[in-house]
Structure 1
Amino acid sequence: MIEENSVLTPEEVADILKIAKNTVYELIKRGELNAYKVGKKFRIDLKDIEEYKNSSKRKKSSTSESRLNQNLSSAISNANILKSETISGSGLVICGQDSVLDILSRYLEVHPKGVRALRSYVGSYNGLYELYNGTAQIATAHLWDGDSGEYNIPYVRRMVPGVPTIIVHIACRMLGFYVAKGNPKKILSWEDLKRDDITIVNREKGSGTRILLDEHLRKIGVLGTQINGYERECISHLAAASTVARGGADLGIGNEMASLSVKDVDFIPIQKERFELVMKKEDMLKGPFQAILEILQSDGFKSELKGIGGYDLEETGKIVAEI
């Protein structure tokens, strides 16, 4: 239950309104959503979200239709630019949501053999789908297979069939449960999801975290529909942790770093996951792909990740599989 005087982050607002975080920033920029800064971070009062929703309802349908057409035109234009830049060789598309990809993209743009990286903020499953269909050149994955206990390799074999691929390790991250401070429900393992007194907040379909949950549910013989809150989705680790902190759920699943950014949440470590890049083997001799390997293996890149914290960098830059 969110209190009337709650102060929310843009990520939490995006979760409430079921929109992308970038859309929240655009609403703030256009003056449609009131916000203020604490240091360098935006914060939004819950009452201002309600005012925005009510204001939107009062607008004439013609205005809404006009804005929809403008947004559609903009989306088509952006898609054409993305397609044009990728086809012309002036950029490549990297699928994934982790902030480490922002750092990789920055290094890639200034590397002598690098290019501009275009980001597609989709989950692991959809990223492999885009790689297979040729709409992206690089996918990132953290997909756990419950039968083999392996990460990524079984999914690449199934989802990119007949296409020789290379899997390059980025880092390991600790995954676990977000629970309220003090863990009042005493949640410690996947088996606790068999209890009927626990409500969860889930991740979106196609995300590695959602697939991890579904695989473990399958192994313990529980259907998702039997769990309170299973159908409620959020689009980031931070949003899941924030939902638990606000009392909106007893349990969320995500990485340890997000829990450190949210008050009144404890983190119960459950499983170390492998976060890796997947590329087509035919591309590996091209300059930008060689640049990516050099960046991942460089001391500068590893030092920046080490400074952020939360990443195990022991195998960073290592080619772990050729499929």
Structure 2
Amino acid sequence: MSKELSYTIEEVAQLLKVSKLTIYDLVKKGELPVFRVGRQMRMDAKDLDKYIKNHKTTTSQVPIAELHRPQTKNSPNLVISGQDIVLDILGKYIEKYSTYKTLRSYTGSLNSLISMYNGECDIVSLHLFDGDTGEYNLPYIKKILVGHSYLLLNLLSRKAGFYVQKGNPLNIQTWTDLNQEHVKMINREKGSGARILLDEQLRMNHLQPKNIRGYEQEETSHLSVASSVSTGGADVGVGIEKAAKIVGIDFIPLITERYDLIILKTPENEKLISTVKEILSSHPFQSEINSLGDYDYSQTGSIIYET
């Protein structure tokens, strides 16, 4: 048998610089073929090369900085920024019910909001906790989108908390438990919603990041953090419940976060806003969210704030 080079899902995610959830979604859709060795999925290098060649002109699945959208008034391209799989579902519905071609950027909440201010994306998903008000998203939006009119819509609510190893052997329950010498954490990248939640909680609990073991070690997705805890690379990480269930570790819920969408209110975006509002309020879209589990869609589509 000839030896063919193959990759694990994690290696493919690292090569394409996207989250493993993105790769799993592409596999599920049949866009990336895989084979199994025991319980592990692998991908032939030639199949990955073929996928890359076939998508060189579409510019999808790349970071914001690499998205070269035509900057024309009637451009059909639409950039949706954020990491949750629900955003991929939203993109599918937008393409079905409009003429837009949706492009995905898997960038953290704060960095995405700044990109919107710079005109680099059209729909941004946010889960930014403000410790002073106890509120999500709006305090950050008001400071960053100065001079802009915008619409803030609820996408869903979800639990955020700690990823811990099976059985939680170190009995990690609260934010102050991170401040123990024998506890090693894995962090998220700067600008992500999970990183901001952690930093705000450390500030509120008068804890110094320099005293948190592993604080400087970063991963770029919920799934990567959960995987690090699963393999013993860390004892604890911060993220959402969904990734813990995918990886098969325990989850300690600490807060219910509001996951919102923001769109700038411009004449060019009138049709987009109307389309997104209809999709979020539709039964098929909400049913698809419900089928994923671990999401609260009771407020999906509701207007949180607008200027």
Normalised-by-shorter TM-score class: 0.7 to 0.9
| Alignment deviations for residues 85-127 of structure 1 (CA, whole Å, 9 cap, x no partner) | 765421211111111010000000010x441111121110011
Taking the TM superposition and a 5 Å limit, the aligned residue runs for 1:210-289 are: 210-263=195-248, 265-283=249-267, 286-289=270-273
The answer to whether 1:91 aligns with 2:77 is yes
Deviation for aligned residue 1:285:
6.0
Q: Distance in 1 between matches of 2:178 and 2:110?
A: 24
Alpha-carbon distance in 1 for matches of 2:67, 2:237 = 37
Within the candidate set 136, 155, 159, 1:170 is matched to 155
Matched position secondary structure for 2:252: strand
Q: Counterpart of 1:52?
A: none
How far apart are residue 42 of structure 1 and its match? 6.4
Note the residue ranges of structure 1 that are not aligned, 5 or more in a row. 1-7, 26-34, 49-70
Match of 2:86 among 100, 111, 128: 100
CA contact (8 A) 2:159 2:240 kept: yes
Alignment CA distance shift 1:96-1:44 (3 Å): same
Question: Contact 1:142–1:208 (CA<8 Å) still a contact in 2?
Answer: yes
Q: Against the structure 1 CA distance between its residues 42 and 36, is the aligned structure 2 distance closer, same or farther, given a 3 Å change threshold?
A: farther
* Alpha-carbon distance in structure 2 between the residues aligned to 1:174 and 1:114: 34
* Shift, 1:82, TM fit: 3.4
CA distance in 1, matches of 2:72, 2:170: 49
Name the residue aligned to 1:189. Answer: 174
| Structure 2 unaligned regions, length at least 5 | 1-6, 24-32, 45-52
Contact 2:36 2:42 in 1 (8 A): no
Contact residue 284 and residue 290 of structure 1 kept, 8 A: no
Deviation at 1:188, TM superposition (A): 0.4
Measure, in 1, the Cα distance between the counterparts of 2:121 and 2:305: 20
Question: Do structure 1's residue 132 and structure 2's residue 131 form an aligned pair?
Answer: no
Partner residue in 2 for 1:307: 291
Once the two structures are aligned, what percentage of the paired residues are identical?
42
Work out the number of aligned pairs and report it: 279
Question: What is the TM-score normalised by the length of structure 1?
Answer: 0.77
Q: Deviations over 1:132-153 (max 9, x none)?
A: 1111122110000000000000
Alpha-carbon offset, residue 44 of structure 1:
5.0
**Cα deviation, residue 9, structure 1:** 5.1
- Give the corresponding residue for 1:10: 9
Q: Which runs of 4+ in 1 moved over 6 A?
A: 77-81
Cα distance in 1 between the residues matched to 2:243 and 2:153: 24
Contact 1:11-1:238 within 8 A present in 2 as well: no
Q: Is 1:293 aligned to residue 277 of structure 2?
A: yes
TM-score normalised by L of structure 2: 0.81
Q: Which has the higher helix share?
A: 1
Q: What is the CA–CA distance in structure 1 between the aligned matches of 2:143 and 2:207, rounded to whole Å?
A: 25
Alignment of 1:12-161 (within 5 A): 14=13, 19-21=17-19, 37-38=35-36, 43=41, 82-84=68-70, 87-111=73-97, 113-161=98-146
Structure with the greater alpha carbon radius of gyration:
1
SS in 2 for 1:97: coil
Q: CA RMSD in A?
A: 3.2
